[in-house]
Structure 1
């Protein structure tokens, strides 16, 4: 289903899955492929107030109605084929992704945070469940969906569980354009806060930031994300050919994670993302 999700870069850091409302406008192809490439301005680490520019590749498609898509460095595969005639889409499948936060000191612009040391790459493996419905509010072609993903690091980095509930609404403005809004949150286990947000006395001495050990005291929501997306077809139809897209996203760090000196002193609770790019649907 939903070919234009692969064109949107919200899944970089805002962690919002993207859908397109255009699928009901024509008979579905059972196999499709969309390739996208964009440029995004993102925080240099989670909680940073410095930004860097990075490329945004994206792939999405389906083979005999079994969908797959990337969201940043993560891959999702929907094992339930989308063959419903009533616009209902049940989503169940595995996901695997990599987390590169602070794995390179060169990408961390704040000297104090860089002095905390380099972290290991996390490999988050798990699954997702969701449900979507086409033709809900504004027209027969809009789409409202909800999804929950659950992953765990298996590479020995943060070694924690991450739960991400999300809800999205997308609607076409015409056959050439669409807009969408998405809301999600990230719930993490104790080890995640301990790994990314706590500061040991040794790290405090090296960085000049005060020691901090509260982020790993308990599980909790680390941030909430809001994203607005839009697209415009250069080919005259958002279901085929070239499409331009743009994205603006805002995330708010929460609780003990926001109170960590990594965020409250060296960074900011307010996290912004902007992206523009182009995609092609075959």
Structure 2
């Protein structure tokens, strides 16, 4: 299910739109209603730029009602308001996105002692939308799928009061009626408020933590590569219990890699998840 590709979405803030769910590539009726629900145990960095990791539960759901698709992946919700076509075809994607950004909202969740002395951040509510194009029936069969999207969301809660652009490409293919694999690549470009909030160190924070004063700007924040897989334990991909898992690598760049909070950790970020889902 989409929980796989979205495993990093319930990390501190976000990730790319995930690969398509199993039903998107195996359903005989792309406008038929379906629902997949599940939960995973995810391993995530303590904060963006950390090299300390912890475990957290991550819920997920994906479904289609009257041809309109929705996705809940941890702290991220999106809806595709344009119905897909039937069979191997091109389709346009567009709809709203909402993300709850939990990056550095609790000192207790941060193992690095100097970063834990920095000010806590509030919970940011990021709202926006995405547009894209997809093609079903690309390489391996009539059911594999390629998708390219770009999304934008803006913090409406006043925490970082800035926006995030995220271009994404993904590819999914069924290996059989019981197995599916997906790959995706994405990047994030953020506005100045984001860098100032999560990667800068103010003079007061520097005096308290011993870190140098640092002012981060906006721009290219990271690129990401990910892989996900689904294996049916009962039934097949269109119904029954499924084992789901995924792994994601993220590389921070620019001011975001140079920030003292990242220098105490790592530019290289790994995220993973393993769980169960049920489709019906």
Instruction: Place the TM-score, normalised by the shorter chain, in its bin.
Output: over 0.9
Q: Is the 8 A contact 2:232 2:243 kept in 1?
A: yes
Q: Is the 8 A contact 1:21 1:134 kept in 2?
A: no
Alpha-carbon distance in structure 2 between the residues aligned to 1:136 and 1:20: 16
Residue matched to 1:58 = 60
Shift of 1:24: 4.5
Please list the CA deviations of residues 128-157 of structure 1 after superposition, one character each: whole Å capped at 9, or x if unmatched. 101111110122211110111100000000
Alpha-carbon distance in structure 1 between the residues aligned to 2:186 and 2:25: 25
Q: Does 1:144 align with 2:146?
A: yes
Alpha-carbon distance in structure 1 between the residues aligned to 2:237 and 2:157: 39
Residue matched to 2:243 = 244
Shift of 1:95: 1.2
2:246 match: secondary structure: strand
Structure 2: gaps of 5 or more residues: none
Alpha-carbon distance in structure 2 between the residues aligned to 1:152 and 1:166: 18
Q: Does 1:276 align with 2:274?
A: yes
Residue matched to 1:119 = 121
RMSD value, Cα: 1.5
Alpha-carbon distance in structure 1 between the residues aligned to 2:235 and 2:65: 25
Q: Is the 8 A contact 1:7 1:35 kept in 2?
A: no
2:94 match: secondary structure: strand
Residue matched to 2:205 = 203
Please list the CA deviations of residues 186-230 of structure 1 after superposition, one character each: whole Å capped at 9, or x if unmatched. 1100111011101011101111111111x12xx311111111111
Q: Is the 8 A contact 1:7 1:34 kept in 2?
A: no
Alpha-carbon distance in structure 2 between the residues aligned to 1:207 and 1:94: 39
Report the TM-score when normalising by structure 1: 0.93
Shift of 1:77: 1.0
2:24 match: secondary structure: helix
Shift of 1:23: 3.4
Q: Is the 8 A contact 1:22 1:172 kept in 2?
A: no
Q: Is the 8 A contact 2:32 2:65 kept in 1?
A: yes
Alpha-carbon distance in structure 2 between the residues aligned to 1:33 and 1:6: 13
Alpha-carbon distance in structure 1 between the residues aligned to 2:119 and 2:65: 43
Alpha-carbon distance in structure 2 between the residues aligned to 1:25 and 1:98: 31
1:38 match: secondary structure: strand
Shift of 1:249: 0.8
Shift of 1:27: 1.8
Alpha-carbon distance in structure 2 between the residues aligned to 1:220 and 1:44: 23
Residue matched to 1:67 = 69
Alpha-carbon distance in structure 2 between the residues aligned to 1:22 and 1:96: 23
Mean CA deviation greater in 173-182 or 14-23: 14-23
Please list the CA deviations of residues 16-73 of structure 1 after superposition, one character each: whole Å capped at 9, or x if unmatched. 3221365354422521111010001100001100001000100111110111111321
Tell me the number of residue pairs that the alignment of Structure 1 and Structure 2 aligns.
275
Residue matched to 1:226 = 225
Shift of 1:124: 0.3
Residue matched to 2:155 = 153
1:5 match: secondary structure: coil
1:205 match: secondary structure: helix
Structure 1: gaps of 5 or more residues: none
